[in-house]
Amino acid sequence: MRKIYLLLPFIFILNCSFDKVAKHHGVQFLDKKHDNLVINQTNKNDIINLLGKPSTKSTFDNDVWIYIERKTSVGSIFKLGKKELLVNNVLVLEINKMGLLSSKKFYDKQSMNDIKIAVNQTDPVYRKRSFVYDFLSSMRQKINDPLGNRAKRMKDN
């Protein structure tokens, strides 16, 4: 019986894995697959066969298809299980009206860090007594004096 008690923890320890568990989102190996896309030769059907349906579509002058690859894993024990971003790739494809690939832009984690974001802010333009302020103050006045007795007393004095 004592051997069973010693054997159980040993079995649990053997089943533990020391490899990190990675969670994938989107198209896997997007960095390798986008090399197969040739501008002005690859059409919509080829793109769908290679990459699948896009994560996001938008239609302006041309169709813009966006493919995303994201891979996260739990960090080291020193980071207390905080998620670590391993791969963050975005592929933006622009397709012309004939259905051919007209441009492609690939962004990885490093190139996204290099993108500059404007820090200028616009100040809100509003006046102190806006329509909403006037409306709410009239509602407050009606709630405080629903019959208008105060206004009548003020006229009499």
> Cβ contacts of residue 58 below 8 Å, gap of 6+?
64, 66
Q: Residue 43's Cα: distance from chain center in Å?
A: 28
pTM to 2 decimal places = 0.59
Q: What per-residue confidence (pLDDT) applies to 49? A: 92
Q: Per the structure block, which two tokens stand in for 9?
A: 């923890």
Task: Write down the pLDDT at residue 136.
Answer: 79
- What is the tens place of the pLDDT at every residue in 43-102? 989 999 999 898 888 876 678 999 999 888 877 666 676 788 888 889 999 998 888 999
Which residue carries 């971003």 as its tokens? 85
Amino acid letter, 68: I
**pLDDT for res 122:** 74
The domains located in the chain, with CATH, are 21-117 (3.30.1450)
